[in-house]
Amino acid sequence: MDMSGKQVHIFDTTLRDGEQVPGCKLNLDQKLRCAKQLEELGVDVLEAGFPESSPGDFKAVEMISKEIRNPIICGLSRAVPKDIETAAAALKFAVRPRIHTGIGTSPIHIKYKFNSTQEKILERAKAAVKHAKSFVEDVEFYAEDAGRTDNEYLAKVIQAVVDEGATVVNIPDTTGYCLPNEYGEKIKFLVDNVRGIENVIISAHCHNDLGLATANSIAGMINGVTQIECTMNGIGERAGNTSLEEVAMVIQQRFKGLYQTNIRSTLLTETSHMISDSMAMLVQANKAIVGENAFAHSSGIHQDGIIKHRDNYEIIDPLDVGLTESKIILTARSGRAAVAFKSKEIGFDLSKDELDIVYLDFIKLADQKKQVSVDDLEALLKRTFSAVA
């Protein structure tokens, strides 16, 4: 039986939208090392930068185009001829170059960013795609702030760029405004109302201002998106972008046989650490999939459950994301099961009576400390048993 599902392309923008974050700027060398790691991870498209934005970004896109051969290499541009020409020049050496061009389509962007009209914006969108197509075959169009663009007008713009030859249409929720049902309905509206959309890739690019970026991307996928734009650790403007690791694991855990990606999930932890170190951007401890505590158990009830059977409190096998095991953390909330388990790991197989004695000392120590380390436990066990002996 064929268990393969519909392919969802992972478009990584860690080195473009992610790198825009203050303090996350990478030098050329770091960008190349991160790009190699992302290639290894299995991303399908790598957005390497915004070449017109600075000479450094131009060089980065050019160098990544020369060195990284498997993913499509993408360069960002505004719907401005010079931007598109610079992106094309930076992508000259890429095996599979893609120009990503676009313009704001929401009433707010049209009025306050461009002081323009819907008609003029539509013309600029078409002209940008036409110009980009004169350099490369693969052109992705983004309708910036599509999340706050009314669906009728959005469909008109998307129809125009599809007719102009765009190969990918990106529907960004730039301000992280949409609810999952709204974003899903937006994609469905385009699927139902744009002629020829079945011949292009529909892409989700969601921001996390309301903490809904991953949920919105998945709602998009259920309604017809086949490319998801994301960053490692969810870094990006303001509250960040959709997290690559979350999308990869949602698809792997919850959509088996329906959808699939090319991500090698066992490299997720290593990649997360590398990006976090390179950008000096800490990952919050409770971050899904890659946070320090994502596979750590500290309360007595949970520890007892995990020791009895991992599935009681874990829906992902830590091995699947590149960890060796889950963690049992000893705190004042830990129970006897955890103390017995950790003691056994360091060579003390305690009887019930011994455990009762050790546990009394343990809980006193745990009340004084945030966390009891393995060394603390070992010292405590040795002290207890030398006193008993």
Query: Judged by CB under 5 A, does residue 17 bind Zn ion?
Result: yes
Q: Does 176 bind ligand KIV (CB under 6 A)?
A: no
Strands (E), the chain: 6-7, 9-12, 45-49, 72-78, 97-104, 138-144, 168-173, 201-206, 227-230, 259-260, 296-297, 327-328
Total of chain residues touching ligand KIV, rule CB under 6 A: 9
**235 neighbors 205 (Cβ within 8 angstroms):** no
10 strand-pairing partners: 228
> Which residues, 6+ apart, have CB-to-CB distance to 286 below 8 Å?
293, 294
Residue whose beta carbon is closest to Zn ion: 17
Residue 52 gets the label, from left (phi > 0), alpha (psi -120 to 50) or beta, of alpha
Q: Which of 172, 184, 220, 234 binds ligand KIV (CB under 6 A)?
A: 172
Total residue length of the chain:
389
* Distance, CA of 183 to CA of 204 (rounded, Å): 9
Using the rule CB under 6 A, give the single segment among 109-117, 167-175, 182-190, 215-223 that binds ligand KIV: 167-175
Give least dist CB 236 to ligand KIV, A: 8
How many angstroms separate the CA atoms of 290 and 47, rounded? 22
Q: Which among Zn ion, ligand KIV, none contacts residue 57 (Cβ within 5 to 8 A by kind)?
A: none
Residue 29: exposed, middle, or buried by beta-carbon count in 10 A (0-12, 13-18, 19+)? exposed
Residues 190-229 that bind ligand KIV (CB under 6 A): 205, 207
In whole angstroms, the minimum distance from the beta carbon of 240 to ligand KIV comes to 11
Of the candidates 14, 159, 174, 243, which one interacts with ligand KIV according to CB under 6 A?
A: 174
Binding partner of residue 58 among ligand KIV, Zn ion, none, CB under 5 to 8 Å per kind? Answer: none
Q: How far is the CB of 150 from ligand KIV (least distance, A)?
A: 17
Q: Which of 114, 99, 144, 321 is closest to 237 using CA atoms? A: 144
Q: Which does 142 bind (CB under 5 to 8 A by kind): ligand KIV, Zn ion, none?
A: ligand KIV
For residues 229 and 203, what is the distance between their CA atoms, to the nearest angstrom? 7
Amino acid residing at 155: A
Residue 108 beta carbon to ligand KIV: minimum distance, rounded to whole angstroms: 13
Report in angstroms how near the CB of residue 134 gets to ligand KIV at its nearest.
21
Q: Does 303 bind ligand KIV (CB under 6 A)?
A: no
> Which range touches Zn ion (CB under 5 A), out of 13-21, 29-37, 101-109, 126-134?
13-21
CB of residue 224 to Zn ion, shortest distance in Å: 20
Catalog residues that contact ligand KIV under the rule CB under 6 A: 17, 76, 142, 144, 170, 172, 174, 205, 207
Note the residues at the interface with Zn ion (CB under 5 A): 17
